[in-house]
Amino acid sequence: MNSSLNILGNQNSLFNQFISEIRSSDVQIDSLRFRRNLERIGEIFAYEISKTLPYEEREIVTPLGIATIPTMVEYPVLATILRAGLPMHQGMLNYFDRSENAFITAFRKYEKDGTFEIEVDYLSSPTIDDKTLILADPMLATGQSMVLAYEEMLTKGDPRHTHLVSIIASRQGLDYLQSHVSPTNTTIWIGAVDEELTAHSYIVPGLGDAGDLAYGIKE
């Protein structure tokens, strides 16, 4: 199955400047700047996705007359995977400022031999029936977290269209995601694709742990 795919980093733009800064170990030491760059990237994704949404012309009364302007018919539901997705989510919410919001926890549960399974144990969401859904997570390593979160969101309804958004993806994770989501009403948005995924499922060159860089190392 092949879902529609957009890789924003394939074009030269300010977007790649923000990508370079979140990757840079010299810049990452400033967690405030790291979070702000994730937020900026979320804003750019929101702007690009907004071009695909339905619009209708409305008459807007100005102090001097009436302007006819295309405006969005409805705002999408914004969903993110905690905790790393929060700054990126805020960036999209800055632009889709009337959106409903959903939050999901997905984490790696490690075994003694170093293997792990992805578990989802919390979801807070409005109904998504016949709505546009945007589900975001900064890193797409194996792709399992995004797929499980996507499937969990579908328990809240049948969205008209879903946009799945990640800043950096591994090639393996992207392939996994494309093979596990609906090809007819899903669009995938990626910032950059890295070819290597380590035996411990870390993206190389990647950027490290986005959650730790944004909010501090967890125990």
The model's pLDDT over 138-171, given as tens digits with 9 standing for 90+, comes to 999 999 999 999 999 999 999 999 999 999 999 9
The model's pLDDT over 174-184, given as tens digits with 9 standing for 90+, comes to 999 999 998 88
In this prediction, residues 15-39 reach a mean pLDDT of: 97
Count how many domains the chain has: 1
For every residue of the chain, DSSP letters joined together read: ---EEEEGGGS-SHHHHHHHHHH-HHHHT-HHHHHHHHHHHHHHHHHHHHTTS-EEEEEEEETTEEEEEEEESSPPEEEEEETTTHHHHHHHHHHSTT--EEEEEEEEEE-TTS-EEEEEEEEE----TTSEEEEE-SEESSSHHHHHHHHHHGGG---SEEEEEEEEEEHHHHHHHHHHS-SSSEEEEEEEEESEE-TT--EESS-S-HHHHHH----
Average pLDDT across the chain, whole number: 93
The model's pLDDT over 97-123, given as tens digits with 9 standing for 90+, comes to 999 999 998 776 666 666 667 778 889
Instruction: Give the CATH number, domain containing residue 177.
Output: 3.40.50.2020
Q: Write down the pTM of the prediction.
A: 0.92
State the residue range of the domain holding 66.
4-197+207-215
Q: Is residue 202 part of a domain?
A: no
